Structure 1
Amino acid sequence: MSRIEVVDWTPRWAEQFDEVAAVLRDALRSVPSARVEHVGSTSVPGLAAKPVLDIDVIVEEHAVAAAVAALESVGYVHRGDLGVSGREAFHAPDEPRRHVYICTAGSANVRNHLAVRDVLRARDDLREAYAGVKRALAADPGMDIDTYVAGKSAVLQQVLEESGELTAAELVAIRRLNDPA
């Protein structure tokens, strides 16, 4: 079991995103609907995070196959949806450490990721609450990733409810995905 590492936010994450996004945008130039978004905790200035970028490549449903081919052409390894409908995961070919997903525009996944990012950027109180939970969980030397994700679920639900971007049914589905217990 590897230890969960949560560190202070650094502006380097934004720089790394810009570098990776430039490569992705170039690869995706033949996919007109493609947008590359920095999501997850590293996209929120001031938020403690695991030092791994989260990047969503957002495309219209009809363009998913072309986007998959475009990322594969620059060395990304397609891993399938990993059990999450509307999202295709990739293993990155190099540093920095990152999770890259192709997501269908308008899907609950995309709205979830963008809502969390935008609320945490705007709300200091929720950002601090989330950071506190993440740091407390990571401080447990026996913490595993599934327990870590489940432990963040309550504060993330509060963030998502605050956003108003998801339906009640979508909120329930996200809660079940993050905390199946």
Structure 2
Amino acid sequence: MRQAIVVVDYDPTWPEVFERLRAPLWEAVQDFALGIEHVGSTSVPGLAAKPIIDIDVVVATEADVALAIERLAVLGYTHQGNLGILGREAFHQPAHLPLHHLYVCLQNSAGLRNHLALRDYLRAHPGAVKAYSALKKRLAQEHAYNIDAYIEGKSDMILAMLKETGFEEDQLDSIREQNRAK
């Protein structure tokens, strides 16, 4: 049975949850990682979101990705592969932690650039936050058990925001295709 898609109003404790999750991650990777970013909707003040923290560990090289996989396994994370996004490796979280998605991203990867550009755009555009929140809530109601339809329904707005940040048409086409593949 599919789990219902739940979108809630912004919770001001989300940055604190991110920091609690970040601390042990940073301890494990600080000798080679470039940083750890809070991304996704929970990273944007005022934005409605699924209550799941998205975290990107940023590394410089493929060798660093391999090292991150080893170090994160010690913390209980299970490597899931790139899930169709080049330059971004996904992990399943340990059960005892707050809900979150963890990724290891190469510093110049499209996946990381997408996450940071969308986050930063929304942080700078309160009107977009309001419109995107309303869209997400509506889609969660209309497609409560269909994550593919939910993602597809958000795609045009996301792509429009990314276009405003300077993404080229071929990059936007690639993101559109990745969203459809999910």
**TM interval, short-chain normalised:** over 0.9
Q: Distance in 2 between matches of 1:129 and 1:20?
A: 29
The equivalences for 1:15-164 within 5 A come to 15-31=16-32, 33-61=33-61, 62-93=63-94, 94-140=96-142, 142-164=144-166
Question: Shift of residue 63 of structure 1?
Answer: 1.1
Separation (CA, whole Å) in 1 of partners of 2:40 and 2:176:
17
Helix, strand or coil for the counterpart of 1:7? Answer: coil
SS in 1 for 2:122: helix
**Partner residue in 1 for 2:5:** 4
Cα distance in 2 for residues equivalent to 1:127 and 1:142 = 21
Q: Could you say what secondary structure the match of 2:142 adopts? A: coil
- Structure 2: state its 5+ residue gaps: none
| Distance (Å, rounded) in 2 between the aligned partners of 1:170 and 1:110 | 13
Q: Sequence identity, in percent?
A: 46
Query: How far 1:143 moved relative to its partner?
Result: 3.9
Separation in 2, partners of 1:98, 1:82: 16
Please give the TM-score of this superposition, normalised by the length of structure 1.
Answer: 0.94
Shift of 1:29: 2.4
> Aligned pairs, how many?
179
For 1:126 and 1:36, locate their aligned partners in 2 and report how far apart those are by CA, in whole Å: 25
Residues 82-128 of structure 1: CA distance to partner in whole angstroms, max 9, x if unpaired? 12211111011132100000011111111100000000011011111
Root mean square deviation, CA, Å: 1.5
Counterpart of 1:169 in structure 2 is 170
CA distance in 2, matches of 1:175, 1:86: 17
Letter in structure 2 aligned against 1:138: A
Separation (CA, whole Å) in 1 of partners of 2:102 and 2:131: 26
Q: What is the Cα deviation at residue 179 of structure 1? A: 3.3
Tell me by how many angstroms 1:50 deviates: 0.2
Instruction: State the Cα deviation string for residues 56-86 of structure 1 (Å, max 9, x = none).
Output: 0110123111111111111111111112211
